[in-house]
Chains A and B, each alone.
Chain A
Amino acid sequence: MLTSKKQLFVWILPFLVLVTLFFIVPLLYMVISSFSNGDGFTLGHYQEVLTSSYILQGFKNSITLSAVSAIIALIVTLFAVYAMMRFSEPVRERILMVSNLTSNFSGIPLAFAFIVLLGNSGLFTLLFEKWGIDSLSSFSLYSWGGLLLVYIYFQLPLSLMLLYPIYYGIQQQWKDAAALLGASTFQFWRKIGVPIMLPGIVGTFSVLFANAMGAYASAYALTGSNYNLVAIRIGALLSGDIFAQPELASAIAVILGVTMIIAMLLSEWSIKKTRRNL
């Protein structure tokens, strides 16, 4: 028995080596480097993060962009899933498949698609000019508003994919029972449906939030290093040829990583809670 368990362990070993070499070791080095300057231990990099108004601004921009894009995507998909329920299950599965296809559409290709639509000579930019709607034709894709539109795009399929099973768990019997007892549809959702789904919605929000906090490619493609976001800051500090400050980049990355872990734990916890409810 023991030898057989040992033999089995041989199959797990390469996996453990890979995880150690390419996940644990890099993250450890990042943490160590965030606490070190040339000679030894320092808290200086964290102090710099917390006192640099520029870096703090980056965090603030990332947090608002992530939270706003997550909330808008949540609201749109909540209603869209509700409307989707009128279709038969095969049709709904097809819609989900198509939405999964668009979830691959992110990063650089997505940024480019928005340039085609809303860039300086974009389809809609020209259309708004033609119609003489100046307030819209002067819209800049390379600003906070433009980034928000792109971020909402890549949040939508993820939000749909996460909300659909939660919504699916609301059973028809509960609606029937509530209706039989005299509740209106609105009352059902306010008193039963939404409270049951709430932990799941919170969990979905935190996944979406984390998803946007870590996003880099689309913002980089649209604004280069000009728009101040945490992920962009890290990239710039890492790759800048003259001004490369990898230790400072490490400190920012550690703080971002902690944010991510908190968001993921929150979503794990609330998804478990939803499963218990359903």
Chain B
Amino acid sequence: MRKKGFADLFFVFLLLYLFLPILATMLYAFATNWNKTVLPEGLTFKWIATLFQDSSFIEAFGRSVLLSGGAVLLALLFIVPAIFVIVLYFPKYEKWIQAAVVMVYAFPGVILAVGLIRAYAHIGVPMILAVLGVYVISILPYIYQGTRNSLRSVNGKQLLDAAELLGASKAQAFTKVLLPAVYPGLFAGALLSFSVLFGEFVLINLVVGSRFETVQIYLMKKLSTSGHIASSVVFVYLVLMGILTFIISMLTKRSKGAAKA
């Protein structure tokens, strides 16, 4: 019993350690002045309002959504069908996708940034497209996980076979039967990918830099100029991540529930 109490200490420490920085940053976004006192001198909405009146923040936000959303969309269009076909029709090649997933996961942005610059910087390709392409590949682990899990939980192969047996064409079976069944898991994977890309800084900063100012680059600039604006950016970022995480967990729960029922 005494040992359990010891373990509890670690658990409480873990929660405090994970939440204190978040709470402090959020509080800072609403603090009038917080330089000399332990707690803020007063509370205000001034910083958040200033942030939303700053057109360069709105534009940066738009660019981040466009870049991350575009990459997720491309992944859904080109990677998901490939995963479907390999898992359902060529299962013996699935280990190659798994190998690709591990490799993609193993190489951090800073390594890929070197490769991108060496391969494409001198041949006139717009580097933002190169970053977009690497973004599509870098979310492969999340997209694969989402697709694979939902295919497994609805028994994809049998579902397709059954639909075709009942007279549906391959295309019909795919779009009318399989896709609706795996949609929640797929959507959860897409949102997770979006939230990972939304926080990406290394590639965009090293390869493109301030020519394409995303939210992360905007935040990096504000870090040295205005702490209050920076914390407002982090506040907005956290709220967005919170909403995404909530939707993802709802979707995952629903697709798990569907598999059990």
Chain A residues near B (Cβ < 8 Å): 5, 8, 11-12, 14-16, 18-19, 21-23, 25-30, 32-33, 75-77, 79-80, 82-84, 86, 97-102, 104-117, 121, 123, 126-127, 130, 152-153, 156-157, 160, 185-186, 210, 213-217, 220-221, 231, 234-235, 238-239, 246, 249-250, 253, 256-257, 260-261, 263-264, 268
Chain B residues near A (Cβ < 8 Å): 3-4, 6-11, 13-14, 17-22, 24-25, 28, 34-38, 78-79, 81-86, 89-90, 100, 102-120, 130, 133-134, 136-137, 195-196, 199-202, 206, 209, 216, 219-220, 223, 227, 230-231, 233-234, 237-238, 241-242, 245, 249
**Residues of B contacting A157 with CB < 8 Å?**
18
The answer for the CA separation of A257 and B104 in the assembled complex, in Å, is 11
* Chain A, residue nearest B90 (CB): A8
Contacting pair A112 B245 (CB below 8 A): no
**B119 interface neighbour in A25, A106, A221, Cβ under 8 Å:** A25
Contacting pair B17 A156 (CB below 8 A): yes
Contacting pair B21 A153 (CB below 8 A): yes
* Chain A, residue nearest B39 (CB): A123
Contacting pair A79 B234 (CB below 8 A): no
Contacting pair A26 B112 (CB below 8 A): yes
Contacting pair A108 B223 (CB below 8 A): yes
Contacting pair A29 B202 (CB below 8 A): no
The answer for the CA separation of A64 and B237 in the assembled complex, in Å, is 31
* Chain B, residue nearest A189 (CB): B3
**Residues of A contacting B237 with CB < 8 Å?**
109
Contacting pair B230 A260 (CB below 8 A): no
Q: With contacts A80-B11, A112-B230 known, is A235 near B107, CB below 8 A?
A: no
Contacting pair A80 B10 (CB below 8 A): yes
Interface of chain B: mostly helix, strand, loop or mixed: helix
Contacting pair A109 B82 (CB below 8 A): no
Contacting pair B206 A8 (CB below 8 A): no
Contacting pair A121 B36 (CB below 8 A): yes
**Residues of A contacting B223 with CB < 8 Å?**
108, 111-112, 115, 221
- In the complex, besides A8-B85, A30-B118, A102-B18, 5 extra interface pairs with C-beta distance below 8 angstroms are A14-B78, A29-B118, A32-B118, A76-B17, A109-B233
The answer for the CA separation of A106 and B199 in the assembled complex, in Å, is 8
The answer for the CA separation of A195 and B102 in the assembled complex, in Å, is 26
Contacting pair B6 A116 (CB below 8 A): no
The answer for the CA separation of A19 and B201 in the assembled complex, in Å, is 21
Q: With contacts A33-B118, A249-B114 known, is A221 near B234, CB below 8 A?
A: no
The answer for the CA separation of A19 and B75 in the assembled complex, in Å, is 11
**Residues of B contacting A8 with CB < 8 Å?**
85, 89-90
Q: How many A-B residue pairs have CB under 8 A?
A: 236
The answer for the CA separation of A229 and B110 in the assembled complex, in Å, is 12
Q: With contacts A19-B100, A109-B234 known, is A11 near B84, CB below 8 A?
A: yes
* Chain A, residue nearest B203 (CB): A216
The answer for the CA separation of A186 and B106 in the assembled complex, in Å, is 36
The answer for the CA separation of A239 and B117 in the assembled complex, in Å, is 10
The answer for the CA separation of A27 and B90 in the assembled complex, in Å, is 27
**Residues of B contacting A260 with CB < 8 Å?**
106-108, 111
**Residues of A contacting B36 with CB < 8 Å?**
121, 126
Contacting pair A21 B79 (CB below 8 A): no
**Residues of B contacting A238 with CB < 8 Å?**
113-114, 117, 206
21 chain-A/chain-B pairs, Cβ below 8 angstroms: A12-B82, A25-B115, A26-B120, A30-B111, A79-B6, A79-B11, A100-B245, A102-B18, A102-B19, A104-B245, A105-B22, A107-B200, A108-B219, A113-B22, A121-B36, A214-B107, A214-B111, A221-B223, A231-B110, A256-B110, A260-B106
**B219 interface neighbour in A75, A101, A109, Cβ under 8 Å:** A109
| Chain B nearest Cβ from A122, distance in angstroms | 8
| Chain A nearest Cβ from B110, distance in angstroms | 5
The answer for the CA separation of A199 and B227 in the assembled complex, in Å, is 44
**Residues of A contacting B38 with CB < 8 Å?**
123, 126-127, 130
Contacting pair B118 A116 (CB below 8 A): no
| Chain B nearest Cβ from A253, distance in angstroms | 4
* Chain B, residue nearest A233 (CB): B110
The answer for the CA separation of A111 and B138 in the assembled complex, in Å, is 23
* Chain A, residue nearest B140 (CB): A19
**Residues of A contacting B133 with CB < 8 Å?**
18, 21-22
* Chain A, residue nearest B120 (CB): A26
Contacting pair A23 B137 (CB below 8 A): yes
**Residues of B contacting A80 with CB < 8 Å?**
7, 10-11, 13-14
* Chain B, residue nearest A27 (CB): B115
Q: With contacts A256-B111, A260-B107 known, is A83 near B4, CB below 8 A?
A: yes
The answer for the CA separation of A26 and B110 in the assembled complex, in Å, is 12
Contacting pair A216 B110 (CB below 8 A): yes
Contacting pair B24 A113 (CB below 8 A): yes
Q: With contacts A80-B14, A107-B216 known, is A250 near B118, CB below 8 A?
A: yes
